[in-house]
Amino acid sequence: MKLLRYGPAGQEKPGILDRDGKIRDLAGVVDDIAGDALSPAGLAKLRALDPATLPLVAGSPRLGACVGRVGKFVAVGLNYSDHAAETGAKVPEEPILFMKATSSIVGPNDTVVIPKNSRKTDWEVELAIIIGTKANYVSEADALSHVAGYCVVNDVSEREFQAERGGQWTKGKSADTFGPMGPWLVTPDEIADVQALDMFLDVSGTRRQTGNTRTMIFGVKFLVHYISQFMTLHPGDVITTGTPPGVGLGMKPVPVFLKPGDEMHLGIQGLGEQRQRVVAYEG
């Protein structure tokens, strides 16, 4: 299944994509793509529906983030061997974890705002894991049973805030609009091998990132297991798992960063695509 949320920001309704790629309304079935709806029982209830019997959503509404009421937005740094190489960083022995503020989450095609005083806003196409059932000290063998699905995330980052202003990475990862998520949550049964998905990101028509989830240092199963050793993961929590090479920070001989007027286009095989226009902060 491909589950989604559509409508004005803050007023999104739950939906499902039918076989023809049209949005069908789920508001009469679940209140949101969140919480119990992401459990095995909740997903089974949705899977039993015939989307053709659900109300058709007219037009092309705005898509919101594909998950509602996200409790934790956990991120993994330097998790692609080829990305670590381009930044000159040592391959980590254990996953590098940081948090993105949930207030950074926006829809997949919403505008991305360069923060006030930013000089180094960057892009990162990433595979995200959406938790469906509570995970606490889970084994690697059992990890995938806690996953409701996967989606695309653009882990937008301000590199000066992240690396040159002291403290942890969170401050460079959490600005408003720095977490485009979606277009939809894709359930695991639609993904033959989550560790073999092609990824790309273009900036204003120029291909910047080309990669595949096979070069992840720590795979999906291990990450769910590992993170659950340090915090309990709850339904609707999101883990974004790192980016392949081609970020602006790694450009040679001179890094390249986002500027107002740029457009990002990114996607992951089987999980859909995003498009964002970049604007300057006005406040």
What's 79's domain CATH number?
3.90.850.10
Do 80 and 178 lie in a common domain? yes
The answer to whether position 199 is within a domain reads yes
The pLDDT profile of the chain, 283 residues, written as one tens digit per residue, is 999 999 999 999 999 999 999 999 999 999 999 999 999 999 999 999 999 999 999 999 999 999 999 999 999 998 998 777 777 778 889 999 999 999 999 999 999 999 999 999 999 999 999 999 999 999 999 999 999 999 999 999 999 999 888 888 999 999 999 999 999 999 999 999 999 999 999 999 999 999 999 999 999 999 999 999 999 999 999 999 999 999 999 999 999 999 999 999 999 999 999 999 999 999 8
Number of folded domains that form the chain: 2
Q: How many CB atoms lie within 10 A of CB 82?
A: 14
pLDDT at 283: 82
State the Cα–Cα distance between residues 94 and 223, nearest whole angstrom: 10
Q: Are residues 120 and 49 in the same domain?
A: no
User: Are 14 and 150 found together in one domain?
Assistant: no
Rg value, the chain, Cα: 18
- 7 and 127 share a domain? no
SS3 percent helix, strand, coil of the chain, rounded to 5, is: 20, 30, 50
Q: What 8-state DSSP symbol labels residue 15?
A: E
Same domain, 6 and 123: no
Do 167 and 238 fall into the same domain? yes
Give the whole-angstrom CA distance, residue 196 versus residue 213: 5
What number of other Cβ atoms are within 10 A of residue 168's Cβ? 10
What per-residue confidence (pLDDT) applies to 26?
98
User: Domain for residue 67, yes or no?
Assistant: no
Q: Exposed (0-12), middle (13-18) or buried (19+): which is 283, by Cβ within 10 Å?
A: exposed
Domain that includes residue 45, residue range: 2-53
The answer to whether residues 238 and 130 touch, using CB atoms and an 8 Å cutoff, is: yes
Residues 49 and 77 in one domain: no
d(CA 236, CA 73): 9
Phi/psi of residue 24, nearest 5 degrees: -115, 140
Q: What is the DSSP string of 212-276?
A: EGGGBSS-HHHHHHHHTTTS-B-TT-EEE----S--GGG-SSS-----TT-EEEEEETTTEEEEE
Q: How many angstroms separate the CA atoms of 155 and 88, rounded? A: 20
**Are the C-beta atoms of residues 227 and 73 closer than 8 Å to each other?**
no
Half-sphere exposure of 242 (CA within 13 A, CB side): 28
d(CA 206, CA 184): 25
For residues 140 and 185, state if they share a domain.
Answer: yes
